[in-house]
Structure 1
């Protein structure tokens, strides 16, 4: 009995110590060191003495993205790749430009939730819940409206108006990552077997090969 009590107290002590541990940044900043190949769940820190204002600065979100492409949209990212000072801070953002009836195709962010605000235009947004329900949760947004996409879930945006749409989104990671569903499935290197995809999508292999050729 005494042994069980000691083990229980030890376990509770460990739980409380973990709960009280400081998991936040332990320095003012950790600017990404572009010269280092060391990765520790992120980028190595630049020498703080060499840090400059430009490490925390980005200019360009006022510029309209070029939407003359197959999907009719352009995403301008502001992540740790563009702003080294975002390293370890757990935040980033993007500008999304969408031509009339263009789309930001179904995609996921494996490391971030997203909160989106429409600045111009009328934008239809939606995300799909995980298996087995695969429920589509969708809404049409007007300027000033906000919508949230939970981490890891497939989501999309579509301009359902006759003028260009612009949105700004914040993400809960300095390096959120993006997996565009069609590109990943049909444009993988090397190709996923047409037999695998044919059975997954319940179509003939030649249809899969045509889709793979597009990516």
Structure 2
């Protein structure tokens, strides 16, 4: 049985069902004309706010450094966009260094998708703060993949060190056009900021390795399947069944899977 009240919008001014034929203006004390005028004014303010937010996002990026460096002071209780600068007198060479052992293979059996991403960002090298760059080593098992995901704050440029990779990205609505390429050792491919992209090792008997540079000190990663089917709390199966045009039992099965992370 459908519970209509879960999906019927409520009028923002007097908390009543906007589809109700019995709604009146008595409770508010305003005439219907006055209510309509206030609603129009509220709509204008909401639209203006949304446009301002969208404009801010359109120009948002990692802040440019205003000095030689701004080593992250992770012990500071001050909260800013990024990290507060450590006093330059306390900065050491180790603030720009990490014995990351990126020449060593990673264990690709730790994730169900057969890949292991080792990210080097500002959380691991404080000296990256405000510099707008990070990198990652990605190891792929035979037939392993780095599944469809996005980096909300970074463009990525990837080069294959060993093996072969099938890679691609998809443009935004309405086109959703796929740009894909088979890469071999030494090849380079770019994934534009924010777009869904992936890498897949098509070889059944040979691993692959790649290095990626990203244009943010903290690029972030949103793995699509994990976010959609592994969110906490879960997204309503009504919503996902409608979105993916499948039965709810299919959504329930997907949500019951273990959505592990391949980032380390």
User: What TM-score comes out, normalization by structure 1 length?
Assistant: 0.87
Q: Which residue of 1 aligns with 2:81?
A: 41
Q: Which residue of 2 aligns with 1:96?
A: 138
| 1:126-167 Cα deviation digits (max 9, x unpaired) | 000100111111000000000000000000000112211000
For structure 1, the 5+ residue unaligned runs are 1-22
Q: CA RMSD in A?
A: 1.0
| 1:66-85 Cα deviation digits (max 9, x unpaired) | 10021000000010011110
Note if 1:62 corresponds to 2:103.
yes
Q: CA deviation at 1:46?
A: 1.1
Note if 1:170 corresponds to 2:210.
no
For structure 2, the 5+ residue unaligned runs are 1-62, 260-264
| Displaced runs of 4 or more, over 2 A | none
**Greater percentage in strand:** 1
User: What TM-score comes out, normalization by structure 2 length?
Assistant: 0.71
Q: CA deviation at 1:28?
A: 1.1
Return the alpha-carbon distance in structure 1 between the equivalents of residues 172 and 158 of structure 2.
Answer: 21
| 1:151-209 Cα deviation digits (max 9, x unpaired) | 00000000112211000010000000000000000111111000000000001111111
Any residues of structure 2 matched to 1:138-153 within 5 Å, and which? Answer: 138-153=180-195
Pair member with larger Rg: 2
How many residue pairs get aligned? The number is: 193
Q: Which residue of 2 aligns with 1:209?
A: 252
SS at match of 1:81: coil
Q: CA deviation at 1:62?
A: 1.2
Q: Which residue of 1 aligns with 2:166?
A: 124
Q: Which residue of 2 aligns with 1:194?
A: 237
Q: CA deviation at 1:93?
A: 0.3
